[in-house]
Structure 1
Amino acid sequence: MRRPSPLPQSPVASRGAAEKAAPARPSRLADAAAPRATEREREEPTLDENPTAPVIPLASPTPLPDAKAASDDATTWEGTDAADVGFREVFKAARARRKALRAEIRRFTVRQRRRRAVLLGAAASVLLLALGTLGAAYSPLFGVEKITVVGAQQLAVADIADALSGQLGTPLPLVDESAIKAELVAFPLIETYALEARPPHELVVRIVERTPVGLIETRAGYTLVDAAGVALSTTATPSPGTPLLTITGGVDSEAFAAAGQVMRSLPEEIRAQVTGVTASTPDDVTLELGGTNTQVVWGSAEESAKKAYVLRATMAARPPADVFSYDVSSPDAVVVR
């Protein structure tokens, strides 16, 4: 078995060993070899037996303003075992963080929350006021206790009020208009009506009566009609002061519609003198003035307002007692006979 060969040595170590093993030479030879050794040392740098890298000290960093506090915290945490930080401490820290966050949010939204509170308060006040008003309006506090009839001339006010007495005690917003209409239909003289509520307890009924234009002779007697041909009443004998209508075609004809329009356009003082109206077509309406038997040739119902104005002025200048007829069919050229 062969022995392992020795490891190679460094040049410095081998040279040192050789110098130790070589015998001492005379001083002359050493002096002569000294310059060569100096040249060799210049060519090859001398290596130490234990080479080490130079140590350069680092400058200590400048501590931050809160370095002491940070070091204290670090020392504290280093001295604390991780097992000592439990769920309760984490929960408290999280709750403190949420509380601080909510405080910041409230601080930055205080104006918005104040504006929102004002708007909500105003809306709630309006809503409560509306609900209170509606509740009071539909309660017995605003029940009907008085019915006032306005516009009745030929009809008796007490009769109309008695017919509507079923609405007494009903809150004003709940008054039944269909029931009131059904009661007023029984009065033919009522042409139109309107209801008006006067809180807290009054109901006003405004009516417009039909205007009778004359009597039409029928089998049942004499029927009083208005301009629309609605029968108002029927009597066995003609009523005094009411003109007798002689219309070809009856109340459904165009002649009757023209005669009714003419009667409604007459002034009250002239209408009171009319005792008869005749018409066979819509263009030949003729009036008869009682007492003097004076005729008024009216013609058609066109320009009735102008014809009525011209007739009144002409009758003032020429009274019916001295006139046989007034022809106002052409209002710009009145003919008096």
Structure 2
Amino acid sequence: MKRPQGFDRSEAPAAAAAPPSAPAPPSATTGTPGAGAARAAGPRSAEEHGRGVQTVTEPIPVQRPGQATSAPPVRDPRADEPPYSRLPTNREIDKALRAARRERKRVERGEVRRFTKRSRRRRIAWLSAAGVVVALVVAVGLVAYSPLLALRHIQVTGTSRLDAAAVEKKLSDQLGTPLPLLSSGGISSDLAAFPLIRSYTVESHPPDTIVVRVVERQPVGVIQRGNAFTLVDAAKVPISSSQQRPEGYPLITANGGAADVDADSGFAAAAGVLSALPADVLAQVDTITAKTKDDVSFTLRGRSATVVWGSAEDSDLKAADLAALLKSAPDASRYDVSSPHSVTTG
């Protein structure tokens, strides 16, 4: 609807005559500052309202009690400079490159440590085990070769014919030597002076004692060499020698060496037969003869009887047959056990 002429003019003086109203205080219930600003701006003129013109008024900042006044932001003077107005110096470039290299090395070291974690643990375990072994070896070596394990006492056992004190005295040159450093060659050389020793063993008893266990040679008979009689064992090793024949041992008349030298010799066969005889029968043997290994015979003491033995084979069975014949036919002058399954007497 068209407004009457002069309508706007009548309102304009009234609006101009109205005193300016004080700005309304900010309300705590208003949600936006725009509403207060619109009220502060006053009513718009009818002309502006009619023409659809809107007046935009910026909000007036209101400082509340106790609120600090914010300083305006400081503008960097270099922000308006052109991008290439200031280039870095060589020193700054070097510094940046060094920092980049340090960072790269740090990252590489971290990656290397991450990928080699398992191998490093395994290496540490091996090194620890090796260190423990080396420490133990060094400790044992220091203790073993120290004077704490020096030899001070020697014990000799297993002697019957030998004098144990004489053997200990012969070994006295080993006193003062640490047990791990005892010379087996030196001990063997010392014991070689006693032909009655067939074998021996040496036992160490820390901290300062050794025990020498001796196995003596057992004589099996006597061999005559000229006017001397030599007592020998099964290996034909001389044990003792005298001008008179030792009692209780048979006289061996055979050629050749011991079994370890010549197994087919007459001496080896005679020694094998004597070793197989029971003690009561062995005590009756006076003289044993072996021309060959298959022709062994001996005479009995006090009976004037002869025993034909033959070879040394089946000596245990032949010995049992002879023991039975001596009991069943004590007055016989000849006992033939060369064939153990068919023995004869005469």
TM-score norm. by structure 1 comes to: 0.67
Give the counterpart letter for 1:286 in structure 2. S
Give the counterpart letter for 2:250 in structure 1. P
Give the counterpart letter for 1:127 in structure 2. V
Which stretches in structure 2 are left out of the alignment for 5+ residues?
Answer: 1-80
- 1:16-95 alignment to 2 at 5 Å? 81-83=87-89, 85-95=92-102
Asked if 1:152 is matched to 2:159, the reply is yes
The structure 2 residue matched to 1:334, chosen from 329, 332, 343, is 343
Whole-angstrom CA distance in 2 between matches of 1:140 and 1:266: 52
- 1:142-221 alignment to 2 at 5 Å? 142-221=149-228
Give the counterpart letter for 1:333 in structure 2. S
Percent identity of paired positions between Structure 1 and Structure 2 = 42
Deviation for aligned residue 1:119: 1.6
Whole-angstrom CA distance in 1 between matches of 2:83 and 2:293: 117
Give the counterpart letter for 1:308 in structure 2. A
Q: Tell me which residue corresponds to 2:113.
A: 106
Secondary structure of 2:330's match?
A: helix
The structure 1 residue matched to 2:133, chosen from 126, 137, 144, is 126
- 1:242-257 alignment to 2 at 5 Å? 242-247=249-254, 249=255, 254-257=265-268
Give the counterpart letter for 1:138 in structure 2. Y
Q: Tell me which residue corresponds to 1:269.
A: 280
Give the counterpart letter for 1:225 in structure 2. V
Whole-angstrom CA distance in 2 between matches of 1:80 and 1:333: 132
Deviation for aligned residue 1:257: 2.3
Whole-angstrom CA distance in 2 between matches of 1:295 and 1:329: 12
Which stretches in structure 1 are left out of the alignment for 5+ residues?
Answer: 1-74
Whole-angstrom CA distance in 2 between matches of 1:323 and 1:303: 23
Deviation for aligned residue 1:167: 1.0
Deviation for aligned residue 1:122: 1.0
How many residue pairs match? The answer is: 260
Residues 320 and 90 (structure 1 numbering): CA distance in 2 closer, same or farther, change over 3 Å? farther
Whole-angstrom CA distance in 2 between matches of 1:242 and 1:274: 8
Asked if 1:325 is matched to 2:331, the reply is no
Deviation for aligned residue 1:78: 5.8
1:300-334 alpha-carbon deviations (Å, 9 max, x no partner): 2223233234434x258x25634433322112222
Secondary structure of 2:267's match?
A: helix
Asked if 1:116 is matched to 2:108, the reply is no
Residues 98 and 309 (structure 1 numbering): CA distance in 2 closer, same or farther, change over 3 Å? farther
Q: Tell me which residue corresponds to 1:223.
A: 230
What is the root-mean-square deviation of aligned Cα atoms in Å? Answer: 2.9
Asked if 1:239 is matched to 2:230, the reply is no
Residues 269 and 150 (structure 1 numbering): CA distance in 2 closer, same or farther, change over 3 Å? farther
Whole-angstrom CA distance in 1 between matches of 2:332 and 2:84: 136
Deviation for aligned residue 1:237: 1.7
